[in-house]
Structure 1
Amino acid sequence: MIFITPPGVVSVALKQAAEDAFPWTAIEEVAHVDQAIRIFPSTVSLILVHPDFIADAERSASDLFRYHPMAMTAVMHDDLQAERDVAIRLVTSPFVRSVFPIQVRHDISLSILGLLLQGIEYFPRALLGAAIEKPVEVVPSLPEPDEAQPVPAHLRVLTKREMQVLEMVQRGLQNKSIANDLNLSGHTVKIHLHNIISKLGARNRTEAAALYRNVAPVNAAY
Structure 2
Amino acid sequence: MSDGQTVHTAPVRVLVFAASSQVRASLQSLVEEHPALAFLGSAADAETLVDCLAGSVPDVIVTDIEPEASDAIKTLFELGHAPPSLVLLSDDTDSDWLLDVLPADAAAILPRNAMPAEIVMSIEAVAAGLCVLSPDTLARLLAGRRPSRQTASGEPFEALTLREIEVLAMLADGLGNKDIARRLDISDNTVKFHLSSIFGKLGATNRTEAVMLGMRHGFIMV
In the superposition, the TM-score normalised over structure 2's length comes to 0.53
Q: Is residue 10 from structure 1 mapped to residue 20 from structure 2 by the alignment?
A: no
| AA of the residue aligned to 1:55 | D
% identical aligned pairs: 9
Letter in 1 for 2:20: P
Offset of residue 53 of structure 1: 0.7
C-alpha distance after superposition, 1:88-115 (max 9, x if no partner)? 3222336474324331221122111211
The structure with higher relative contact order (CA 8 Å, sep 6+) is 1
Aligned length: 160
Q: 1:55 to 1:125 in 2, by over 3 A?
A: same
RMSD: 4.3
**Equivalent pair of 1:19/1:27 in contact (CA under 8 Å):** no
Which residue of structure 2 lines up, in the alignment, with residue 197 of structure 1?
198
Extract unaligned runs of 5+ from structure 2.
1-13, 161-193, 205-210
Q: 2:212, 2:38 → 1: CA distance?
A: 39
Aligned partner letter, 2:71: A
Instruction: Name the counterpart of 1:78.
Output: 91
Query: Which of the pair is proportionally richer in strand?
Result: 2
Alignment of 1:200-211 (within 5 A): 211=215
1:98-177 paired onto structure 2 within 5 Å: 98-130=108-140, 152=152, 163-166=155-158, 169=159
State yes or no: 1:55 paired with 2:59: no
Query: What is the letter of the counterpart of residue 62 of structure 1?
Result: E
Give the whole-Å Cα distance in 1 for the aligned partners of 2:72 and 2:197: 16
Native 8 Å contact 2:84 2:103 kept in 1: no
How big is the shift at 1:40? 4.6
The aligned residue for residue 99 of structure 2 is 91
Distance 1:113 1:18 in 2: 9
Q: CA deviation at 1:13?
A: 4.4
* Residue ranges of structure 1 left out of the alignment (5+ in a row): 146-150, 171-192, 202-206, 216-222
